[in-house]
């Protein structure tokens, strides 16, 4: 088998390459690596704490005194509303 630059390979060259791969590596590619285990799912409280921590680092949170008095779940909801475009938030 002769080697050609990749941009000049023909269908026959691809077939020869495929045959060579099957001859020297007959197993599927999935047998040659171990898949990473799935991460354990987080509970809702952990997700809310993580989102709240990220939002507290945003300038839009730091400049809004109303959000700092709310519980985490409510703060996330109202922060999302206040920072969304085309949403008019009317204070009570």
CA pair distance 41, 70, nearest whole angstrom: 26
pLDDT at 40 over 90: no
Q: Pick the residue with more confidence: 82 or 23?
A: 82
pLDDT per position as a tens digit, 64-92: 888 988 999 999 999 998 888 888 767 66
Task: List the chain domain ranges.
Answer: 44-83
- Which of 53, 56, 75 minimizes the C-alpha distance to 66? 75
pTM: 0.53
1 burial via Cβ count (<10 Å: 0-12, 13-18, 19+): exposed
pLDDT at 9 over 90: no
pLDDT per position as a tens digit, 50-62: 999 999 999 989 8
User: At which residue do the structure tokens 């009570």 appear?
Assistant: 92
């Amino acid at each position: 088998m002769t080697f050609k630059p990749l941009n000049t390979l023909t269908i026959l060259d691809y077939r020869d390459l495929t045959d060579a791969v099957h001859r020297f590596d007959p197993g599927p590619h999935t047998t040659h690596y171990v898949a990473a285990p799935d991460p354990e799912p987080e509970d809702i409280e952990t997700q809310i704490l993580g989102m709240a921590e990220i939002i507290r680092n945003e300038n839009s949170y730091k400049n809004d005194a109303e959000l700092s008095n709310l519980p985490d779940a409510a703060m996330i909801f109202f922060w999302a509303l206040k920072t969304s475009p085309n949403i008019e938030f009317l204070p009570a």
